[in-house]
Every structure is written in structure tokens, then in C-alpha cells.
A and B are shown apart, each in its own frame.
Chain A
Amino acid sequence: AQSVAQPEDQVNVAEGNPLTVKCTYSVSGNPYLFWYVQYPNRGLQFLLKYITGDNLVKGSYGFEAEFNKSQTSFHLKKPSALVSDSALYFCAVRDPYGNNRLAFGKGNQVVVIP
């Protein structure tokens, strides 16, 4: 079964500094990978996805993620963090050969310090 791991519980970063949220995945075959963000008292919001093609994927709010097949990683990045980026971030993977359910990571709390 497919799975993702988000090794850090919380990521603290100063405003204006680069932000990285780590994700590694496990799936048989080629993966479909997603990042979602959850602001307080809200539902999850889609940020970006990797299906095929360019390993660097650009998404909403200035976020991007790099697919690395050899390291089975899909880290989320933003060159310059904003205080408003403080939220819970989820990585997810879908097995393209199975059904269409998503396996979510446990989530990473990102705190951007002014």
C-alpha cells in the first residue's frame, strides 16, 4: 500500500527565509503526489501536484515542490516565507494502479516567525 512520511512535527522559519517541508513516499509504480495546506478551522486546500513531466512543480501562493525519484521525495519549498504561510501542510500520494484514494502524511505545522 502507498504511504508518505513527513518526518518533522513542526517547522519554524523566520519571515523572508526559505521554507522547506519534507516528504518521502512509498508506492509501487509511478506515484501521483500532492501537497495540501490547512489553515486554522478550515478544510484542506490543494497547493500543487506531480503527475508526470518536469520534476519541479509550481503551485499556489508561490510554493513549489521537487519530485526526486531516486530519493523517493517530494519536498515542498518556498523561497521567501510569509507570516501568512503559517499553517498545517499535508503531503499525499495516490497509487495510480490501485483505487483513487489518497494516503496522507501526518502533517507538518509550519510557524513563520515575524
Chain B
Amino acid sequence: DARVTQTPRHKVTEMGQEVTMRCQPILGHNTVFWYRQTMMQGLELLAYFRNRAPLDDSGMPKDRFSAEMPDATLATLKIQPSEPRDSAVYFCASGLVAPGTGGNEQFFGPGTRLTVL
């Protein structure tokens, strides 16, 4: 049963510390998305990769957030330094985009619940 995996599931850290969240997309998928979910803002798209290349990271605070795909099986989202306002649930999703198809759904991971004290 193919699924997106994320680690860690929970992270509690202190303000100023670096946080790294990892995601393993579904094998064969060529798009990866990072989302942040909070009660106030709902679901926000932070970054989007296609074939490991960043296509859109306009939703991400550039001064402290960075997203990378070192290889096709790993996507990372890093916050340095972390702040209390970064407390949220961070979701990774993956999907398959192929020529002639634009309607393939995204598959979401279980999320990383981040608490910054």
C-alpha cells in the first residue's frame, strides 16, 4: 500500500533552534508539495517541486525556511531559526503529472506537528 511518509510525526523545540522535516513521496510520483495547516490560516502551500526542481516557493518565508529534494525519494523542509509562530502541522503531498493529464490527485502524508516554545 503506497503512501507518503513523514518524519518526525511530532516535534517540540525551542525558539531559535533548527527544525528539519522529512518526507518520502510515493515511488514514481514526480511532484511534491509542502503545506502548512493552522487554525487561523487554514491550509497554505509553502513549496512545490516537479522532477525535484523547485517550481513555486512563493508561499514560504525565504529568510528562515528552505525546501529541497536531495533525491527522488526524499524531500526536506527546514526552518532556521524557528519561531513560535511557526507552530503548525506541516504536510507533504506527492502526485504524478504526465503529459496530457492535469487532473491527478495529490496524496498527503500524515503530517509533522511542530510546536516551537
Residues of A within 8 A of B (CB): 32, 34, 36, 42-46, 49, 51, 90, 94, 96, 99-102, 104, 106-107
Q: Which one of B42, B93, B102, B110 lies within 8 Å of A42 (CB-CB)?
A: B110
Q: Is the CB of A46 within 8 A of B107?
A: yes
Q: Is the CB of B56 within 8 A of A96?
A: no
Asked, given contacts A100-B97, A101-B48, whether A46 binds B105 with beta carbons under 8 Å apart, the answer is yes
Please name 28 pairs of A and B residues whose Cβ atoms are closer than 8 Å in the assembled complex, sorted by A.
Answer: A32-B103, A34-B105, A42-B110, A42-B111, A43-B4, A43-B93, A43-B109, A43-B110, A43-B111, A44-B43, A44-B108, A46-B106, A49-B105, A51-B102, A94-B103, A96-B102, A99-B48, A99-B56, A100-B50, A100-B95, A100-B102, A101-B33, A101-B48, A101-B56, A102-B33, A102-B45, A104-B42, A107-B42
* Complex: A101 Cα to B106 Cα, angstroms: 10
* Closest CB in chain B relative to A13 CB, distance in Å: 22
Asked, given contacts A44-B108, A99-B55, A100-B97, whether A49 binds B45 with beta carbons under 8 Å apart, the answer is no
Closest to A106 in B: B42
Closest to A104 in B: B43
* Complex: A45 Cα to B93 Cα, angstroms: 10
* Complex: A42 Cα to B4 Cα, angstroms: 12
Kindly state whether residue B82 has any CB partner on chain A within 8 Å.
no
* Closest CB in chain A relative to B2 CB, distance in Å: 13
Chain B interface, number of residues (Cβ within 8 angstroms): 23
* Complex: A101 Cα to B43 Cα, angstroms: 13
Q: Which residues from chain A contact B97 at a C-beta distance below 8 Å? A: 100
Closest to A107 in B: B42
* Closest CB in chain B relative to A101 CB, distance in Å: 6
Closest to B31 in A: A100
Q: Which residues from chain B contact A100 at a C-beta distance below 8 Å? A: 31, 48, 50, 95, 97, 102
Extra A-B contacts (17), CB below 8 Å, given A44-B91, A100-B50, A101-B33: A32-B102, A43-B4, A43-B91, A43-B93, A43-B110, A44-B108, A45-B108, A46-B107, A49-B103, A51-B103, A96-B102, A96-B103, A101-B45, A102-B106, A104-B42, A104-B43, A107-B42
